[in-house]
Amino acid sequence: MSAEQLKDTTAMPVAGKPPATVQVTWSGDHVFEGVRVAGGPAITMDSSGTRGPSPVDTLLCALAGCTGVDIVDILAKRRTPMSAMAVDVQGERFAGTPGRLTKIHIVYRITGADVERVHAERAIELAVTKYCSVRDSLDPSMPITWALELNGSYE
């Protein structure tokens, strides 16, 4: 996608979606508490990883959660809901400053008696490439790969 096309798509308002607004407050050291401005539960981010995930870890969690929600919804619409899912995410980082993410690999571990591999793979593909707003908020040139473990088997 060209820079001009990207500019055009990012300028379009999203009907029915209010702006996402959060407030992050410093709690000392490298610890920050984040909360939706409209209220709700808080998250703790800690760059040392002792009181909570780091900000980069939190971004990876957001990607896993966002794609996970889409996968749950897609499989439910197929009337093949899963009984469990765990998502492992590994983000490779640039060695310099800033230590940005350069590549992400996601492993979806899905359990469900009636979930067929082809349908789970399609749900993941749609979640990662089409529906996840967190993914679309990241650099589009950053490679994101994924794998599926279905009912304990990679095949």
Residue 3: its pLDDT value, please?
Answer: 47
Q: What is the pLDDT of residues 81-134, one digit of tens each?
A: 899 999 999 999 999 999 999 999 999 999 999 999 999 999 999 999 999 999
Q: Can you give the pTM of this predicted structure?
A: 0.85
Find all residues with CB under 8 Å of 126, minimum gap 6, and list them.
70, 74
Pick the CATH number of 54-155 from 3.30.2090.10, 3.40.710.10, 3.30.300.20, 3.90.1640.10: 3.30.300.20
144 closest CA partner among 90, 73, 75, 69: 90
- Label residue 47 by pLDDT band (50, 70, 90): very high
Q: Residue 140 has which token pair?
A: 């589009």
